[in-house]
Structure 1
Amino acid sequence: MAGNSQRRGATRKAGSKKGASVGTGGHSRKSLEGKGPTPKAEDRPYHVAHKRKALAEKRQASRGSSGRPAGLKGGRKSSTHEIVGGRNSVLEALRVGVPVTTVYVATRLEGDDRTREIISIAADAGYPLLEVTRTELDRLTDGSVHQGVAIQVPPYQYADDEELLDLAEASATAPLVVALDGVTDPRNLGAVLRSAGAFGVHGLMVPERRSAGVTAAAWKVSAGAAARVPVARVTNLARTLQEWKKAGVFVVGLDGGGDVPIGDLPFAADPLVIVVGSEGKGLSRLVREQCDAIASIPIGSAVESLNAGVAAGIALYEVARHRA
């Protein structure tokens, strides 16, 4: 009924009456203070930008403070990244520590000792390892034979010409360098690199203009020798040869109308630069003038000339034979 104070819930229990609230006295002021500016994304450990930055720093440290492979002091570099395909080329590059941006492996790859070592080195070095379709690998390598593996390498780091002499001095052997005069096909450059690696050449010299550079095609043909044999790019080949001659290095050019046959190659046991010209034009006039001798390789009349890779291989074999 109305006014019945015995109804359940109609009365307040003893001691439940709320009293005056105590003031905060500034106790909650700290919670209202700001936390400062938001950190940059790359400074937040959980953010993808931070992980990307850490990976970039790791790659930079692996290639040295100058950003080039260990053992090379200065020099110039090419301007674009290159895709190197083929198991031998990729494995040689990884073995010598060439900085790698990405390692690509084909799906359902039939592995062998080389592919297992490639994956192992890439994993230990922390390189990004991507599994892609063979169609994608064909596109990346521009249709060349890749055998299911490829790597993306940063711009090639060219050596300085003086570094080649330093390498020869460190090896305690007479300097042996191959210079290319007007060779514009990167596959020929790769073939010369392969011969150079086989016969212990201390390095190659190429001019900056009208000459092939170390591209993916050169990497492929070199079968990994591009990772072991440094290539120096010089502004003026004739002037560089002149300076080397003053330092006591002999220069022998290869040409069909040479003074001596390749079997009687002069200065083979001395500090030596072998100059190989282009297949069509041969040695340029200014470079020929710097040669101490011109050697020729006897060939059949039905063959007009040998390409640079074959000519360099024959000449380097003769040098090795004389030095032995």
Structure 2
Amino acid sequence: MPDPYLPPIRQPVRTIGRQRFDFSRQIVVMGIVNRTPDSFYDQGRTYALDRAVDAALAAAAAGAGWVDVGGVPFSPDTPEVGESEELDRVLPVVTAVAAASDIVISVDTFRPAVAAAAIAAGAAVVNDTTGLHHPELADVVAGSQATVVVTHSRAEPRRPFPRPTYADVVSEVKSFLADRVQLALDHGVPEERIVIDPGHDLNKNTLHTLELTRRLSEIADLGLPLLAAVSNKDFVGESTGLAKADRGAPSIAAATACALAGSRLWRMHDVGSAVAAARLVEAVLGLQVPTDLRHNMS
């Protein structure tokens, strides 16, 4: 049986924050900390500051390489959060986690001022789920040592986008990401500090997201590390009939499918299970040697 096709990453070895990654050899799990009372999955479980910090440090202890801290939900169905309130939610978490751990801290924001303040506080990644809707955010990243995650989404930040349509969702997502990566480059962000995310479920229905997952290698062909943010999302629930609380196993299956097509970053709620799954997938793909070879070896 031939080896699976793994799209090459042009610059796989990256120093991000205080960590060094080789995306040609490893799958990195990003834990999720929502400092919001109305996130789609945890519904405020980590809204309190101490719980947010504890969750980030627990993700690090469970093997996450990154932790993504967000103060504003993507969904437009939640109350508006102003810039000042977003800063109040995010910055104390970044400061506390940066003081206690070497884990890479990513901040989920589309606002340039929030990104700048978070980087100054210790964040090493800006995770922009609006695809650089505000080009000034690229300027902020270019003027720092931070990495930016460029995500496909079509709506203005926190605005409805009902009944999205695509002639070919994969080619359109790929074209969008290529354009936005070029925008980042034009603003001075070096390629080795850019990650891409096809935006599972973001301004897409379940059929779009499943098609995107099946053909994800076409997106990975852009040659940049690719983040798969699939954990507990609606396409997982609509494909399985499972409630949010029961989507852990199919979320790992979705992440595994993405890894087989070239994704090297997983954004996951259940870090421990995801890290264990990532280690097995690395072994299957031949990226890493198994840690303990004893079975039928003597």
Structure whose residues are more often helix by fraction: 2
TM-score, normalised via structure 2 length: 0.30
TM-score, normalised via structure 1 length: 0.28
Bigger radius of gyration among the two: 1
Structure with more contact order per residue of length (Cα contacts < 8 Å, sep ≥ 6): 2
